[in-house]
Structure 1
């Protein structure tokens, strides 16, 4: 006998993040009860998360909760994301995570929520936090998930099987609008910014306007406390302008800054913030939003992004540890203005462990 509760779990890497993946039915149904359990699972609040399975960084203190969708809905499974604070007793259900999203398809297949098909299996996923509908294409030769492959993504050692993520209705998930302020560019706290809501609401600025090159490492940017304080002021003011309220203590909207690409194969150089630290790579949802800024006219990406033009644009985003590709599909709205019809990217995932996690 034990005085702890055992909860079934699969511990997975999804893209450049990792964490526990749970069936919703194995957790408390209410957010308050769920939060208490997740804090205990991850070992928060504690800078080391020594009493849990968290990795003591924002990228490794993430949780995915999966459930079967109701009959008749467009999706097959629902994906609820939880960002567990490392050093405070806070669980944020506001944003989603596109990297963890890459593990949802394999999880759904291996747990029997979605039947595997020969060759590859398409899993329709609703990101509960933002409402986005995503199709994940998972490699399933012989009707079984395979993790081995030749696809490499920046920020992850080695190679793995590719997982294609296609965002079907990525626009306006958090605010209801492509451009929440109604304009492609605004002056916020004396800085030119573009506020977009595509897969993730992001406040986007030019690195040069903060005295940066846009090619700094994540550690260099995190160490500049004056800079970090300045972008937080801009982010919070932009959040109000976007109709998202006071962003103090919240992770949405995110913040990103742009510069011209360094590589001849790059489209844009970007640094993405989570928001109180610079992402060591690039978030999937953030990358799709940044890619959208690159193809839309009148944004802060104008004059920086190297765009070929066309209804389907491959955007190569340079980040601190390499680059990420995002495919942005454009169209026109009823007034003839360019709009975003969809975005996609390529990720990998790996099952690291399966078993039970114990909580008091």
Structure 2
């Protein structure tokens, strides 16, 4: 049963309005009603669409103020809710779907915003897989929609959300319990654990139907499973070069390269990308080379290389001898991720099912790494591992990709901007 305090918080989340000053230019309250949530290995601010200006062009100062950006000198965002890393500088805007989105099956619509840390960049070019796992929970909490409820024990609610960044549906399901005339999401059942987060919580199934071409319109934007990217030279580093890369667009576009190719580029480096990756990727010259590869991959995919949020880049290597799957070290906004951005993990699982991509080559390089096509792919990352399932049809098209996440409500109330 829900505690009286939780009931009060949930009721207040649907009615709370800021009693303070209003911004003269937009007429929006400051502070503004907000919910702070963890989804997977990310945390972010969730806002109701109706609490924001009707014109999205007016959103930027609100998001920057909420997160404490820009913070060019320190990069810590101490003046806001951000945490100085990309996985903690995120905003989700959730509201009612349009008639066209409803026709596609959407119960709710949402926009993901990646907020710059040291600069004023507001990036709406892609989606966030981790925070997407909590969109349904937020929508139900705020009475933006009602979940479809299964007859299981415990019952599970399902919400179909339309992501405006990628123009794709995202489906989440989570445990619920009935209270009076509504079902409330329950997030504290000890059902699932995930790498990078302490303890167990309720199992949230996150599914992306038809994830191919989320940003570019094609699973392989260049038409090739592997391309050779031209990479600019780096001061005090390697000269210009060509490097093999797989540019794949599923849930979000990602550039995949092999750690063995980086090892060859930095032959003689003090550290090795396979045996001591954290030290290797801490080298600013290495990071710049990786960023240059990402930028070249962006151009290959027809994307803007100056938008750091998309595409992301991930460095792949075989797993240790006793394990199966694939190892991934991924970068987000130029920084090595402590786990893996979930859309990168979802994209990688799809890439591993596409013949002749670098991911496919690594997974299928030896018999001990072969698994049945219906099995989930185990992705080993700096914090542990995650299993991602891919459903493909007989023609080889991706029907859906799915993963289990957990999440937690952290705060609901008012946030200053």
In structure 2, which of residues 74, 80, 83 is the aligned counterpart of residue 55 of structure 1?
Answer: 83
- Judged with a 3 Å threshold, the aligned counterparts in structure 2 of structure 1 residues 307 and 105 are, in CA distance, closer, same or farther, namely farther
CA contact 1:255–1:275 (8 Å) conserved in 2: no
Give the Cα separation in 2 of the matches to 1:221 and 1:111. Answer: 45
Quick one: distance in 2 between partners of 1:263 and 1:91? 42
Q: In the alignment, does 2:333 pair up with 1:308?
A: no
Q: Equivalent residue for 2:121? A: 90
Q: Which residue number in structure 2 is paired with residue 203 of structure 1?
A: 255
1:323-344: CA deviation from partner (whole Å, max 9, x where unpaired): 01100112244xxxx3322100
1:228 aligns with 2:287: yes
In the superposition, the TM-score normalised over structure 2's length comes to 0.80
Distance apart, 1:78 and its partner CA: 0.9
Please list the CA deviations of residues 12-52 of structure 1 after superposition, one character each: whole Å capped at 9, or x if unmatched: 00110001100011112333310111101111111221221
How far 1:241 sits from its partner (Å)? 1.6
Specify the structure having the higher radius of gyration (Cα): 2
Q: CA deviation at 1:122?
A: 0.7
2:60 to 25, 29, 35: 35
From 372, 384, 402, give the equivalent of 1:322. Answer: 384
Other-structure match for 1:132? 168
Aligned to 1:240: 299
2:333 & 2:88 partners in 1: Cα distance?
15
Q: Could you report, residue by residue, the CA deviation over 1:82-131 in whole angstroms, capped at 9, with x for unpaired residues?
A: 11111111111112100011111111111112224361111001121112
- Aligned-residue CA RMSD (Å): 1.8
Match in the other structure for 2:243: 191
Unaligned runs of 5+ in 1: none
Separation in 2, partners of 1:272, 1:313: 23
- Distance apart, 1:358 and its partner CA: 2.0
Counterparts of 1:115 and 1:309 in 2: how far apart (Å)? 37
**Structure 1 residues 171 and 75 mapped into 2: Cα distance closer, same or farther (>3 Å)?**
same
| TM-score normalised by L of structure 1 | 0.93
Conserved 8 A contact 2:94-2:135: yes
Provide the C-alpha distance between the structure 2 equivalents of 1:95 and 1:224, rounded to a whole number of angstroms.
28
Match of 2:187 in 1: 147
Equivalent position of 2:137 in the other structure: 106
Give me the whole-angstrom Cα distance separating, in 2, the residues matched to 1:254 and 1:56: 18
Q: Is contact 2:219–2:249 with CA below 8 Å preserved after alignment? A: yes
Per the alignment, in what secondary structure is the counterpart of residue 351 of structure 2? helix
**Residues 355 and 361, structure 2, Cα contact 8 Å, conserved in 1:** no
Taking the aligned partners of 1:10 and 1:214, their CA distance within structure 2 comes to 40
The match for 2:319 is: 261
CA contact (8 A) 2:45 2:92 kept: yes
